[in-house]
Amino acid sequence: MQLLSLSLILNLILQLFYGRKNNLRGKIMRLFFSLIITLLSSFSFAHAELKIQEVVSTHGVRAWLVEDHTTPVIAMNFSFEIGAAQDPEDKKGLAALASQMLTEGAGKFSSHDFAQKLQEIASFISFDVTLSHFQGSLKTTQVNAKEAFQLLKITLTEPLFSSHEFTKVVNAHATSLANSEKKPSTIALFQLRKQIFGTTHPYARLTEGSLETIKKITPNDLKNFMKNLSRNTLKIGVCGNITAQELKQILDEILSSLPKESSLPQIPPVQFPQQEKVTTIKLAQPQSIGFFAQQAIPFKDPNNLKLAIANEALGHGSVSRLMNEVREKRGYAYHVGTNINQEPLISLLIGSVGSQNTRIMKSLSLIKEEWKRIRDHGLTKEEFEDAKSHILGAYTLNFMSSPQIAELLLLYQEFEAPITYMQNREQLLNAITLTQVNQFAKDFFTPEKLQIVIVGNPEEGEIHAQ
């Protein structure tokens, strides 16, 4: 009740101040209330049960919605099934440039005016790209929702793509690329992708493109790219102070004019290498970085949560085996850890380690040994319980704000999870036994197929497991 009252008061104050001209006082108040809004949204679902509705508009646009009327905030996350992997070979980086250009002016607003308008209504619009998805997000307040959603509409339907702003964005992107391409982590990750997928497969590329290919992209290419943002691949997650009926109307107003369907190039299938391979790229520096990976399982696989538990114990958690054995006990590495990367065509269990040149081979040998040990001997009861506890605790933190919840609602749609998954996840996790995880680990982990890349100046030696 206290939150609800504060929300109503804040909405009234927002109406008073955001209608004023852009003066210093207005700027200060906008900043102050933006911070208050962020704090308010942070209490939304810390201890509440999540109720997810599927909303379908008149034109068939679908969204998952969690209503929260204790906060003035509305958050929307959405994505289209087109990503960097579908960029033309000679214009890699097209989707990435499009994601940057969409907020550089739209409709009657120049780049400067668009940014100014967003600031005036305390709203945020951004876009991003992965290998498989073109993503967007909006965060606004209930009082400014109408204007914010209209701004989102024109970014998708009336982007300016002016040559002046395009040149600025390309130049900035090129500078960022030039710096990124020199980083050992970028070099290692790029090589690992080529090693796994082959040099010509779309999954081998970096989402940002290359210095060579972005120079070939034109504003007209961006206009053609926008034709691929179609309703049949659109997924949406919304959380905040909005009803299902209000959302239906908004979905039709801002998205019904998008193309109904689009024809996208098919990405060829992937075959993970069946033998271990180690690649070393020499770089004159005192430290080395190592990346390593094996094939994982899709999110929809029934064993997905068993993999999550095993990964937490092996390398993802702060008290994982790799952290304990490689860093804490022996001091071989500055950092070490693993993560699960799930894409539509293939999933990877991928990790990295940073170490002195004299210790990188020892670090990777120990990592391979732990890979073998978890396969042969599984988890202990203590590791199993700790891993489950950490996963549940970390998951709870994802429900602390409306933007976080909207992001999760989108993520699970991209993974094609059932709408009940978020409510049932804890129950599904608690139903898994130690015996089940250890049986899964025995079948899953393949140290003999690890793909490894080292960037640095490591001492000569081989990677081996005892």
CATH number, domain of 283, equals 3.30.830.10
SS3 157: helix
Asked if pLDDT for residue 252 goes beyond 50, the answer is yes
The pLDDT value recorded for residue 462 is 79
pLDDT tens digits, residue range 124-182? 999 999 999 999 999 999 999 999 999 999 999 999 999 999 999 999 999 999 999 99
Structure token digits, residue 389: 């506890």
Asked if pLDDT for residue 238 goes beyond 90, the answer is yes
The pLDDT value recorded for residue 168 is 98
The pLDDT value recorded for residue 47 is 35
Residue 466's pLDDT band, with cuts at 50, 70 and 90, is low
Same domain, 209 and 330: no
Q: How far apart are CA 73 and CA 241, in angstroms?
A: 6
Contact 410, 235 (CB under 8 A): yes
Same domain, 168 and 230: yes
Q: Closest Cα partner for 83 from 66, 63, 67, 98?
A: 98
Q: How far apart are CA 77 and CA 405, in angstroms?
A: 9
Work out the average pLDDT over 264-283: 94
Last residue of a domain, one of 222, 255, 288: 255
Min mean pLDDT across 22-36, 81-95, 373-387, 395-409 is at 22-36
In a domain? residue 442: yes
In a domain? residue 270: no
Residues in contact with 105: Cβ distance below 8 Å, sequence separation at least 6, in sequence order: 111, 113, 114, 159, 160, 161, 162, 165
Contact 301, 428 (CB under 8 A): no
Work out the average pLDDT over 432-451: 99
Last residue of a domain, one of 186, 220, 255: 255
The pLDDT value recorded for residue 11 is 44
Contact 333, 355 (CB under 8 A): yes
Same domain, 144 and 291: no
Residue with the two structure tokens 């970390």: 394
Q: Closest Cα partner for 412 from 242, 207, 239?
A: 239
DSSP characters over 276-341: -EEEEEE--SSEEEEEEEEE---TTSTTHHHHHHHHIIIIISTT-HHIIIIIIIT--EEEEEEEEE
Contact 290, 363 (CB under 8 A): yes
Which is more confident, 245 or 21?
245
Which is more confident, 460 or 313?
313
Same domain, 128 and 158: yes
Q: How far apart are CA 93 and CA 398, in angstroms?
A: 31
Residue 45's pLDDT band, with cuts at 50, 70 and 90, is low
Contact 320, 390 (CB under 8 A): no
Residue 1's pLDDT band, with cuts at 50, 70 and 90, is very low
Same domain, 344 and 207: no
Q: How far apart are CA 31 and CA 35, in angstroms?
A: 6
Residue with the two structure tokens 């380690």: 353
Residue with the two structure tokens 């094939």: 295
In a domain? residue 213: yes
SS3 63: strand
The pLDDT value recorded for residue 317 is 86
Work out the average pLDDT over 340-359: 96
Same domain, 251 and 282: no
In a domain? residue 337: yes
Same domain, 335 and 446: yes
pLDDT > 70: percent of the chain: 89
pLDDT tens digits, residue range 286-339? 999 999 999 999 999 999 999 999 999 999 988 899 999 999 999 999 999 999
Work out the average pLDDT over 200-216: 96
Q: Closest Cα partner for 14 from 141, 136, 103?
A: 141
Q: Find residue 295's DSSP bridge partners.
A: 348
In a domain? residue 314: yes
The pLDDT value recorded for residue 120 is 98
Contact 336, 353 (CB under 8 A): yes
Q: Find residue 159's DSSP bridge partners.
A: 106
Same domain, 310 and 239: no
In a domain? residue 41: no
Total domains in the chain come to 2
Work out the average pLDDT over 339-358: 96
Count of alpha carbons within 13 angstroms of residue 39, beta-carbon side: 10
Same domain, 238 and 94: yes
Residue 9's pLDDT band, with cuts at 50, 70 and 90, is very low
Residue 10's pLDDT band, with cuts at 50, 70 and 90, is very low
Q: What is the residue range of 91's domain?
A: 50-255
Contact 58, 248 (CB under 8 A): yes
Asked if pLDDT for residue 450 goes beyond 70, the answer is yes
In a domain? residue 265: no
Work out the average pLDDT over 50-60: 95
Which is more confident, 212 or 22?
212
The pLDDT value recorded for residue 19 is 40
Same domain, 81 and 228: yes
Q: How far apart are CA 465 and CA 65, in angstroms?
A: 49
Same domain, 295 and 235: no
Same domain, 175 and 241: yes
Phi, psi of 299 (to 5 degrees): -60, -35
In a domain? residue 77: yes
Last residue of a domain, one of 224, 255, 286: 255
Reported residue count of the chain is 466
Min mean pLDDT across 12-21, 60-69, 111-120 is at 12-21
